[in-house]
Structure 1
Amino acid sequence: MTTSLASVTLEVADVAAAERFYAAAFGLGPRLRLRAGEAPTSGFRGFSLSLTVAQPADVDAYLGAALRLGAKALKPASKSLWGYGGVVQAPDGTIWKAATSAKKDSGPAKKEFNQIVLLLGAEDVKASKQFYVEQGLTVGKSFGGKYVEFTSEESAVKLALYKRRGLAKDVGVDAEGSGSHRIVLNGTTATPFTDPDGFTWEPAPVASPSA
């Protein structure tokens, strides 16, 4: 059976506050769920979420909304060789990136995203890649021990693995961290499992979305 990622659940200290933030800042619908959780965590939680959008104006629209609602800027939006993007940390501590491969706007800003990508920081990318292949995921792109991207035709959220220190550098934080990841991956799995880096998968819930 092919495993796919239907949504992610963030564990937050204040569910009502997080619901208000995500509804106003990103509007992600059933792809993002929230539940109460105060498991000890410190520093980098080992993952980030990315919104890929069509143009720089859309990046600014998402990041601007997040900052007005209390997010912290980690990397201000800027141009690079690959496009345009920036990184913020939501009030609940989750790191979000908004990015586009386009370097010029083609129209007015729209708060619309093409895809959500969950990047998991892996200590051993090759070992984690093999683990996920054994769980039924299919590799789409692979760059040795640095980065792996899984195909996402049946997934509402694209999954990718990034060397932990590389991911931390990309989002502008120190790589050190410990404790709970404060995230659960919801997929087409019959039983829960945990990957080599401690990220837990649970069967996708069928109830109405929390955010």
Structure 2
Amino acid sequence: MAPTTSTTSTTSLASVTLEVTDPEAARRFYTAFGVDDRIGLRASDAPSTGFRGFTLALTVSGPATVDGFVAAAVAAGATPLKPAAKSLWGYGGVVQAPDGTVWKVATSAKKDTGPATGEIDEVVLLLGVQDVKAAKRFYADRGLTVARSFGGKYAEFAAGESGVVKLALYKRGGLAKDLGVPAEGAGSHRVVLGSTGAPFTDPDGFVWEAAAPRTPASS
């Protein structure tokens, strides 16, 4: 499906909906993981193989909170892709939910200053794109405000009206490497973005639909 070229209306990210084979099972997982109020779910059997080209990243306050979220995900059925560990940028780990969605949990802190809080500071939807600069222009033309940009490697937009999830762009190969998965993948991305403006599909095949009232994963 070719992307639309109209820029007559502006948009912001209002919601993120994961397309899953078994919504009830996914709902139970995301409730146990503690992110059920951040995403929506809907049924889909669309073919999807390999890396789906995106990840959802949780930013939290410290390593103990990272460990708590990772442990909750694994206990609920997630597969560890990268054990939580220190890195140049802080501390984090990567898991894959039973529905196939890859989640990263991270903090910029390398040491705890208190106990685990179980609180999420920020959720970022990272789209793996072929050309970050081109994708950034595409989204800026549709009214999204660039908050941070690092050349052709990464771009982040200001939070949308919902404030639930922030949108960012990462070069697809770099994102896959960061997550510890092969970059190859085909078929549906299995994620739909809710738009406050007109529907469209971006150059990398990510679909934006007119935002409907969000049904949380826990409902």
Q: TM-score w.r.t. structure 1 length?
A: 0.95
Q: What is the deviation of 1:85?
A: 0.2
Aligned residue in 2 for 1:39: 46
Aligned residue in 1 for 2:114: 107
Q: State the AA in 2 paired with 1:99.
A: A
Which of residues 143, 161, 165 is equivalent to 1:157? 165
User: Aligned pair 1:66/2:92, yes or no?
Assistant: no
- Deviation per CA, 1:155-198: give whole Å up to 9, x if none: 32110000000000000000000100000001312x21000000
User: Aligned pair 1:7/2:11, yes or no?
Assistant: no
Q: State the AA in 2 paired with 1:4.
A: S
Match runs of 1:14-53 below 5 Å: 14-29=22-37, 31-53=38-60
Which of residues 166, 169, 172 is equivalent to 2:180? 172
Q: Aligned in 2, Cα 1:85/1:210: closer, same or farther, shift over 3 Å?
A: closer
Query: Tell me, which stretches of 5 or more residues in structure 2 are unaligned?
Result: 1-8
Q: What is the deviation of 1:207?
A: 5.2
Aligned residue in 1 for 2:3: none
Q: TM-score w.r.t. structure 2 length?
A: 0.92
The answer (yes or no) to whether the contact 2:36–2:216 under 8 Å persists in 1 is: no
Q: Aligned in 2, Cα 1:27/1:144: closer, same or farther, shift over 3 Å?
A: closer
Q: State the AA in 1 paired with 2:180.
A: G
Aligned residue in 1 for 2:199: 192
Match runs of 1:133-144 below 5 Å: 133-144=140-151
- Root-mean-square deviation over aligned CA pairs: 1.3
Aligned residue in 1 for 2:6: none
Q: Give the Cα separation in 2 of the matches to 1:27 and 1:150.
A: 21
**Percent identity at matched positions?**
65
Q: Give the Cα separation in 1 of the matches to 2:36 and 2:109.
A: 22
Q: Aligned in 2, Cα 1:27/1:146: closer, same or farther, shift over 3 Å?
A: closer
Aligned residue in 2 for 1:146: 153
User: Aligned pair 1:81/2:120, yes or no?
Assistant: no
Which of residues 187, 192, 210 is equivalent to 1:203? 210
Aligned residue in 1 for 2:134: 127
- Deviation per CA, 1:88-144: give whole Å up to 9, x if none: 000000000000001111211121100100000000111111110111101111111
Q: Give the Cα separation in 2 of the matches to 1:156 and 1:3.
A: 15
Q: What is the deviation of 1:54?
A: 0.4
Q: State the AA in 1 paired with 2:164.
A: A
The answer (yes or no) to whether the contact 2:173–2:183 under 8 Å persists in 1 is: yes
